[in-house]
Amino acid sequence: MTRGAVVEFKNVSKHYGNVAAVAGCDLRVEAGEFFTLLGPSGSGKTTLLNMLAGFIEPGGGAILIDGVDVTSIPTEKRNIGMVFQNYSLFPHMNVAQNVAFPLKMRSADKATIRGRVDSALELVGLAALRDRMPNQLSGGQRQRVAIARAIVFEPKVLLMDEPLGALDLKLRERMQMEIRHYRDQIGCTVIYVTHDQGEALTLSDRIMIMNEGRPVQVGNPETIYDRPASRFAAEFIGETNILTLASKPGAGWAIEELGVPFPGPASAASGKGVLLSVRPEKIMRADAAGGGSGPAVRFEAIIAEIIFSGDIHRYTARCAGGKTVSFKEHRTGSGTALKPGDKVALAFQAEAAVPLQEA
């Protein structure tokens, strides 16, 4: 089993003219970790990955792999595997030849090549297709070949740049689980780039959200989702309701958009106009809102829109002040579905309202 390497970025930056593609990034990825760079197009995540791969030279800072500064070392000497979205298979080579290519470039002997190709194809479930040409494979099979080629020389670090973006939803979901399995089998460090929030939450040990070349938040999936640090993080990962918590003279704190008091502790807010993030699944009908460890925020609203999503109903409800909030209900069969125009009493636990750093 390959032992993964520690990867470090120390004040790494890259500018194109006056635009900072990456602005002073400090990051440590632990050996064997599955680490995801998540953000919208232009956030700097692929630039960061390409600097680690050696395809782009940093404008400043240093990149280390297992404590060795590789900033000026050529790509082929960094012991890094790479998987792209477009597979990049050689069309004139069969599956086994494509997978063997990195070993031949490293002048491995025939016995080593044969053994490692067999092992890599067995791992990705393509041993029976070793003689097929790329145009005879499905999209999922071609991506498995690309993964086998990237791991056949036993890299310490595997970089994956939107590797599932060209696949349909069902195949993408299946491949997510397979990628985790491959990582567990070979033990290497994986640094994964995606703009798909669900993919990041499913795959990652830790996630770094990026925006405009800068890290926004780093943490495990549960922390990133449950305790977003900023409005950008809250809105980029999953769905959320952004509400304003304001101080009312002589009346404590109130949620402006709902026109109701906020029963949480004053320490939850640091000043006037603090924003709160409340996930839609945390809002429910008031008669079902018990079970929390603290007080609840209760308010009334009128159902404006319903989206049927198979296992859940997604509701948009308009509050007294004109603000709309979103909430979800699982279709368990035990309750009556709401209809547009229905007046409903809603509630959420005060502890579910997460204060955001950005006002």
- What's the number of CA atoms in the CB half-sphere (13 Å) around residue 222? 0
| Tokens 């919208």, located at residue | 40
CB contact set of 326 (below 8 Å; sequence gap of 6+) = 239, 241, 280, 283, 314, 315, 316, 317
- Pick one of 3.50.50.60, 3.40.50.300, 3.20.10.10, 3.30.70.20 as the CATH number of 7-228: 3.40.50.300
> Residues 12-51: pLDDT tens digits?
999 999 999 999 999 999 999 999 999 999 999 999 999 9
Amino acid at 63: I
pTM: 0.88
14 within 8 A of 21, measured Cβ to Cβ: yes
Look at residue 132 and tell me whether its pLDDT is greater than 60.
yes
Question: Per-residue pLDDT tens for 47-64?
Answer: 999 999 999 999 999 999
Residues 6+ positions from 118 with CB-CB distance below 8 Å = 127
What is the phi/psi pair of residue 192, to 5°?
A: -120, 130
Instruction: Report pLDDT digits (tens) over 145-195.
Output: 999 999 999 899 999 998 887 778 888 888 888 888 888 888 899 999 999
In the DSSP assignment, the letter for residue 85 is T
Task: For domain 239-356, give the CATH number.
Answer: 2.40.50.140
**What are the boundaries of each domain within the chain?**
7-228, 239-356
The DSSP code sequence of 89-152 is: --TTS-HHHHHHHHHHHTT--HHHHHHHHHHHHHHTT-GGGTT--GGGS-HHHHHHHHHHHHHT
State pLDDT tens for residues 74-125.
Answer: 998 898 999 987 778 999 999 999 999 999 999 899 999 999 999 999 988 8
Are 289 and 344 a contacting pair, CB within 8 Å?
no
